[in-house]
Amino acid sequence: MESKIKGFMDLVKQRNQNEPEFLQAVQEVAETVIPYIASKEIYNGKNILLRMVEPERVLMFRVPWIDDTGEIVVNRGFRIEMNSAIGPYKGGLRFHPSVNLSILKFLAFEQVFKNALTTLPMGGGKGGADFDPKGKSDREIMRFCQSFMSELFRHIGPNTDIPAGDIGVGGREIGYLFGMYKKLRNEFTGVLTGKGMSWGGSLIRPEATGYGTVYFAQSMLETKGDTLKGKTVAVSGSGNVAQYACEKAFQMGAKVVTLSDSSGFIYDEDGIDAEKLAYVMELKNEKRARISEYLTKYPSAKFFKSQRPWSVKCDVAMPCATQNEVSTEEAKTLLKNGCIAISEGANMPSEPGAIEAFQEAKILYAPGKASNAGGVATSGLEMSQNSLRIVWTREEVDERLQRIMSKIHNSCIKYGKQDDGYIDYVRGANIAGFVKVADAMLAQGVV
Ligand code: NAP
């Protein structure tokens, strides 16, 4: 089996040189899915995984715009339309200077599995630009979004490809992108999700990824007869996912002691409560400030410059910032400090060595494609509401989100439970996602 996996990976590496994040994501899937394919007559010998690692379409385009000083700036825009076997392409847009083909292809590939897990009819895609929104004025953001959409609009549509937010793309950016799409197409449709409530958005969509990550952590703990109540939780990031993971965690009785951004992390031993979180939201969402400013209002907290929060003693860790933000060493520190569960809010935040360490220690470990699927699931619910031209209540959406997260957890158990009772959530998520997409691909022929 090892030579089969190696042979497959050699081919993928040869075709995708200089794409380390994409190869990392494919390797993790190959290790769990190739043995499964070999054991199933219907999938064997059909090169399905080889077809799945090749995007259906990759778009790269120039995004020229004019900054506030009158300078012409040129960024690079992307959309990866990865797989549409079970529905139109669906996945976020990321605006961050690190964005490149490798990062977006890894995100698009993971998205295919994640979207399949939600049980909703959504294919996988991802896009974005190497644009840094930090320090830009509102008008610069608007001009950039308009230029970006002036090309992207040709390739997307409510039945073709429905982008959403991701790092650097929140409600403000979705508004500018939607406005430009509507102007160019002269139609008001659900082409983007994460929209404002007065123009087609869904209640709970902003909260969904973070809430879902916490619901998933709770489901994992329940398999051990445990709950989040009374647990100490370390969260990284302080953006959309981190904020709402923090909120739901303390609502469920846990104590969240850390948040971070790219400048470092804050440690608040007393726990971050609703009032403190409201201050974080003001800092990050309105003032666009650094997390270190938390200390100006709460001086008893500590700030650790240029560090990540994984040295802190916690029962549960929720990485909610970015890819590869938990190293093997940091994973070992978490384990040494007694951490019993990891629920990933970010995409691929744990390095392969870290995942190995968590699984070897047999703690509860959920990969982002399962635990953070609540965001895209609720985007799917936003699409349904747009199509039906109705608005569900907060309670209705939250209830559906909880049901979906619970179904994802069950799928992971179905395919990931081992003979000794340990649940391998990586294997479970990969195989469950694969089966759904592969069945659709087989039914639709070689296209
Ligand atoms: P966001 O609102 O832009 O927040 C991102 C947070 O992560 C910020 O605190 C940011 O700090 C930090 N961060 C980003 N890049 C970093 C880096 N290279 N090193 C250290 N910190 C970094 O984005 P988000 O929507 O919360 O997304 C966070 C993660 O969740 C991403 O992996 C994303 O793919 C994943 N995700 C998001 C959704 C969603 O619905 N939004 C759904 C599924 C998965 P700075 O402010 O200093 O940059």
pLDDT digits (tens, 9 = 90+) for 175-204: 999 999 999 999 999 999 999 999 999 999
Top-tier CATH class for 208-366: alpha beta
For ligand 1, whether the C-beta of 167 sits within 6 Å is: yes
Residue to probe by mutation, ligand 1, list 98, 114, 136, 166, most atoms within 8 Å of CB: 166
Residues in contact with 35: Cβ distance below 8 Å, sequence separation at least 6, in sequence order: 1
DSSP string spanning 60-83?
EEEEEEE-TTS-EEEEEEEEEEEE
Whether residue 160 is annotated as binding a ligand: the answer is no
Per-residue model confidence (pLDDT) at position 104:
98
The structure's pTM equals 0.97
State in Å: Cα 167 to ligand 1 middle. 5
Start and end residues for every CATH 3.40.50.10860 domain found in the chain? 57-188
Query: 1-8 — which CB contacts under 8 Å span 24+ positions?
Result: 1/34, 1/35, 1/38, 4/34, 4/38, 5/30, 5/31, 5/34, 8/34, 8/49, 8/50
Residue found by looking up tokens 């007065």 in the block: 198
Other Cβ atoms less than 10 A from the Cβ of 306: the count is 8
Alpha helical stretches, state H, 80-204: 101-117, 138-152, 171-185
- Residue-wise pLDDT for 121-176, tens only, equals 999 999 999 999 999 999 999 999 999 999 999 999 999 999 999 999 999 999 99
* Position in ligand 1 atom list of the atom nearest CA 323: 32
Residue to probe by mutation, ligand 1, list 162, 211, 261, most atoms within 8 Å of CB: 261
Whether residue 118 is annotated as binding a ligand: the answer is no
Per-residue model confidence (pLDDT) at position 212:
98
Which residue's alpha carbon is nearest to atom 27 within ligand 1?
167
Let me know if 390 is exposed, middle or buried by CB neighbors in 10 A (0-12, 13-18, 19+). Answer: exposed
State in Å: Cα 96 to ligand 1 middle. 10
State in Å: Cα 404 to ligand 1 middle. 23
* Position in ligand 1 atom list of the atom nearest CA 96: 15
- Residue-wise pLDDT for 48-72, tens only, equals 999 999 999 999 999 999 999 999 9
Which residue's alpha carbon is nearest to atom 36 within ligand 1?
346
Which residue's alpha carbon is nearest to atom 41 within ligand 1?
166
Start and end residues for every CATH 3.40.50.720 domain found in the chain? 208-366
For ligand 1, whether the C-beta of 375 sits within 6 Å is: yes
State in Å: Cα 236 to ligand 1 middle. 9
For ligand 1, whether the C-beta of 347 sits within 6 Å is: yes
For ligand 1, whether the C-beta of 322 sits within 6 Å is: yes
Share of the chain above pLDDT 90, in %: 100
Token pair of 355, please?
Answer: 């995942």
State in Å: Cα 446 to ligand 1 middle. 37
Whether residue 430 is annotated as binding a ligand: the answer is no
Compute CA distances 41 → 3, 23, 36, whole Å.
20, 27, 10
State in Å: Cα 47 to ligand 1 middle. 34
Q: In this structure, are residues 372 and 213 in contact, taking their beta carbons and an 8 Å threshold? A: yes
* Position in ligand 1 atom list of the atom nearest CA 284: 46
For this structure, is 126 an active site residue? yes
Which residue in 126, 231, 284, 436 is the catalytic one?
Answer: 126
Low-confidence ranges of the chain (pLDDT < 70): none
State in Å: Cα 322 to ligand 1 middle. 5
For ligand 1, whether the C-beta of 165 sits within 6 Å is: yes
Residue to probe by mutation, ligand 1, list 99, 115, 167, most atoms within 8 Å of CB: 167
Other Cβ atoms less than 10 A from the Cβ of 183: the count is 12
Nearest Cα neighbor of 79 from 44, 127, 140 is 127
Query: What's the CATH fold of domain 57-188?
Result: Rossmann fold (3.40.50)
